Structure 1
Amino acid sequence: MHEDIKLARPGHEKYVENWIVSMENLAQCGIKTICYNFMPVIDWTRTDLNFKLPSGAYALRFDQKKFAAFDLFILKREHAEVEYSAGEIAQAKLVFEAMSEAERTVLTNNIIAGLPGKMTDSYGLDDFRSMLANYKDMNSDALRQNLFAFLSKVLPRAEAMDVKLAIHPDDPPRDMLGLPRIICTADDLNTLFQALPSPSNGITLCVGTYSSRPDNDLPAMAKQFGPRIHFSHLRGVSRDPDEQRSFIEASHLDSDIDMVQVIKELLNEESRRTEKEAEGQKIFIRPDHGHQMMGDIGKSVNPGYSGIGRMKGLAEVRGVIRALSAQK
């Protein structure tokens, strides 16, 4: 998604049309479920890409204190301090001062350079500050209206080709770095569907992303938004009990959410679709991220996408699906 679309800059219409053409080309190839996001500047963000677990495997992690240290004392974002309490600033300073230069470099790379969210070459700090500055006058309402304007052009063409769009939540699902985030909660989704009720307007139920904030009830969301779910990422997180904004990407069945109940709700939704149509649309799934483990340790892989950990997660998820399906 080109940044000019999110900013609604003059001339952004050509990028919207390019996006539509790409969508139509995919549809002609039989690919009719499209996952996308509307996150400004950054994609999913973590502070640790190789956090060692007691098992010896490695996981992705988001540490709020480290993130604050980056924001306040490495990036030195203008007016960042107004978004933190005095206690948080003091904690962040301690974390920053305890880090070596090498550790500060790794943290910076993890947040702005090393993740799939980079749209071109890796950002430097000055580039990153410049990109963030583009949104200094953008609030959530304005960004949401830009999303609605984009979808108002795309959805009629999607409907014509029976394409289902599945928006991915903002990860982590809250405002950060002064950037507004608009797909974070059930209320955000209700607002989206009230504004644009098109049957092609749907979601990616990324269980791990939504569950990284404690006020999201994932089984309830899977049930409430069932007809709108076209894709689901079935991973979970374990939040830090002392700092709920910090989390580790957990094993697929051992997180803070009831993955079995989420999968049960998705299977129920698929059954309802089949009752309506002989060929009810399936909900595509993937295990999403996995731990780096066993023979994958030490290999060069995209963060979260090592083979063995993802296959382990997929096997566990498929086992749940098979067991639940046998009960019907």
Structure 2
Amino acid sequence: MRETWRWFGPPDPITLAEVRQTGAKGIVSALHHLPSGTAWTAAEVAERKAVIEAAGLTWDVIESIPMSEPIKTRSGPWRAHIDAWIDSLRAVAEAGGPRVICYNFMPVLDWTRTALREPLPEGGTAMRFDIVDFAAFDIHLLKRAGAEADYAPDVVAEATRRAADMDEARAQALAANITAGLPGSTESWTLEDVRACLATYDGIDAEALRAHLVDFLREVVPVAEELGLRLCCHPDDPPFPILGLPRIMSTLDDYRAVLDAVPSDANGATFCTGSLGVRADFDPAAFVAALGPRIHFVHLRNTARDAGATGLRVSFQESAHLDGDTDMVTTIRALMAEEARRRAAGRADAEIPMRPDHGHDLLDDIARRGQPGYPLVGRLRGLAELRGVMAAVGHGAS
């Protein structure tokens, strides 16, 4: 697999010179300063590409061209926003930008955590999703109507106790963590913003939201085909419903439904083991076996469900890359077998771009306090571990 690194552009406290020292060859980036619904220009794409290439790296993947709420709900200026998305694809192609474009279709909130820097026993910090803290936010801070029905009675009771014990600073910090927004984005949410946005999903269930995604793809995929681009949808994170909203990209069956509805090589999957792996029924090898030819981008990270956690909605923590609930050796073996099949078939995209996703804040990361989940040392540790597994699997295959 081709080793890449997510870089949030010039404001990123991790420089491209530092990225080169990790050994990664490619960059995953986007024009994060442009809000959703805004068309990218070829000039801006070319400028970002030139900056990356001047550092001796290549821009391999766009993550992401933002997906606006009007596109997801098919309301308000949704038509203009889809046109802007298509114009952005054309700008990327005109500027000779990346051929792989990752996006997600999560309603209202993107990836969601209740703690962005939870202390670890051995030192350092990790991101965490605590179902009780999230219920306390949902029921007592956001005050969403009917929220209690989404949680087990013991979770509701403990959430009520925690909410009663929270001071104003703790409540504000929890709300800020949950509404942090898409990594690298200039957008964030207040509680009033979240309430207003939730209201726009009244009457939109999973079937309707999936139909909106399929309708969107039926418009943009032919353009991507024409331009030689490959789109790949990121899974829901966490992969279960939150805030009463539907989730439609949480399982292999979800991906099958969307990819079968628009059967094109330009309509593919971002295989994120950390997001999908929160579910106890996730089988990474089965996912690759089923959808391997249409996996265009890979996020390798790991999560660990809390001991004794049962049911769909669970607490979990970002783990070290080889230590969580997903068998990373089996996952990498399956992906490298898919690459071998592609090479045998003569595919130009036989090498799948991957990046070490998330990581613990370790050593110098703690003082640097960069984008939560995207430290330098923590991701370097993850990349080194994954690189070792790939070397071992590759050696065995030879």
Fold shared by both chains (TM-score > 0.5):
yes
1:22 maps onto 2:91 in alignment: no
Question: CA separation in 2, counterparts of 1:275 and 1:319?
Answer: 24
- Stretch of structure 1 that moved more, 18-27 or 143-152: 18-27
The superposition leaves residues 199-258 of structure 1 with CA deviations (integer Å, 9 ceiling, x where unpaired) of 111100000000011111122212221111110000000101223411110000111111
Map of 1:229 onto structure 2? 295
**2:118 corresponds to which letter in structure 1?**
F
Amino acid at match of 1:223: A
Match of 1:71 among 128, 135, 138: 138
How far does residue 278 in structure 1 lie from its aligned partner after superposition? Answer: 6.1
CA distance in 2, matches of 1:146, 1:118: 25
TM-score when scaled to structure 2? 0.79
User: Unpaired segments of 5 or more residues in structure 2?
Assistant: 1-66
Counterpart among 123, 136, 139 of residue 205 in structure 2: 139
Partner deviation per Cα, 1:269-305 (whole Å, 9 max, x = no partner): 1110111116343211000101000111132211001
Aligned to 1:289: 358
> Higher mean Cα deviation, 192-201 or 261-270?
192-201
Gap change, CA 1:324 and 1:118, over 3 Å in 2: closer
Aligned to 2:337: 268
Match of 1:108 among 164, 172, 175: 175
Residue 195 (structure 1) shift: 1.1
Q: Structure 1's 134 and 317: CA in aligned 2 closer, same or farther, altered over 3 A?
A: same
Q: Which residue pairs with 1:301 in the alignment?
A: 370
Shift of 1:100: 2.5
Equivalent residues, number: 327
Q: Which residue matches 1:129?
A: 195
Listed as ranges, the matches of 1:188-199 within 5 Å are 188-199=254-265
* Aligned residue type for 2:231: L
- Report the Cα distance in structure 2 between the residues aligned to 1:140 and 1:132, rounded to whole angstroms: 14
1:228/1:279 CA distance change after superposition, 3 Å: closer
Contact 1:6/1:146 (<8 A) preserved? yes
Tell me what 1:159 maps to.
Answer: 225
The residue type paired with residue 63 of structure 1 is D
Query: Is 1:204–1:230's contact at 8 Å kept on the other side of the alignment?
Result: yes
Q: Which amino acid aligns with 1:72?
A: I
CA 257–270 in structure 1, closer or farther in 2 if over 3 Å, else same: same
Aligned pair 1:32/2:99, yes or no? yes
Question: Please, which moves more after superposition, 64-73 or 217-226?
Answer: 217-226
Percent identity between the aligned chains? 44
Match of 2:79 in 1: 13
CA–CA distance in 2 between the matches of 1:127 and 1:194? Answer: 35
* Separation in structure 2 between the aligned mates of residue 10 and residue 71 of structure 1, nearest angstrom: 26
Q: State the 1:180 CA deviation.
A: 0.8
Alignment of 1:162-201 (within 5 A): 162-201=228-267
What secondary structure, in the 3-state scheme, does the structure 2 residue paired with 1:81 have? helix
The whole-number CA distance in structure 2 between the counterparts of 1:290 and 1:214 is: 21
Q: Which runs of 5+ in 1 are unaligned?
A: none
SS of 2:368's partner is: coil
How big is the alpha-carbon RMSD for the aligned residues of Structure 1 and Structure 2? Answer: 1.5
Cα distance in 2 between the residues matched to 1:82 and 1:117: 30
> CA offset at residue 52 of structure 1?
1.0
Instruction: For residue 60 of structure 1, report the CA deviation from its aligned partner.
Output: 0.4
